[in-house]
Amino acid sequence: MPDGTDSRFDRIWLLATGVLLVIMPALTLFVAYAVLIVTQSVALERITLAEAVELYLVELAAFALFSYFLYRLTRYTIHRQEMQETARNEREREQSQTDGARPR
């Protein structure tokens, strides 16, 4: 891929990571609210201890899931950048070796 395309993809991955980081708390709250609706406990004063523990476990699972997605996305981005740097260094090394082998 040309360097311009790589730069565009890098920006997309960076944007996706930033968006996920920003919306993760909102998504966790949405999942918690969905659980409250499903268990028909939207009125917080009616929540029993068992429902509160269930809600806590659901929020914990959702947060862990979103954190894992963020971790994998960040790790993938770092891996892509390392591979691009390695390829760029190899091209530069090959060019310097080729330039040094040419007669002057």
* Blockwise average pLDDT, block size 10, the chain, 104 residues: 66 80 76 75 69 77 83 87 90 84 58
Q: Cα–Cα distance between 86 and 94 in angstroms, integer?
A: 12
Beta carbons within 8 Å of 47's beta carbon, 6+ residues apart? 36, 41, 55
**Which pLDDT value is given to residue 69?**
86
Task: Report the pLDDT value the prediction gives residue 102, as an integer from 0 to 100.
Answer: 59
pLDDT at 101: 60
Helices (H) and strands (E) in the chain, counts: 2, 0
Cβ count within 10 A of residue 69:
13
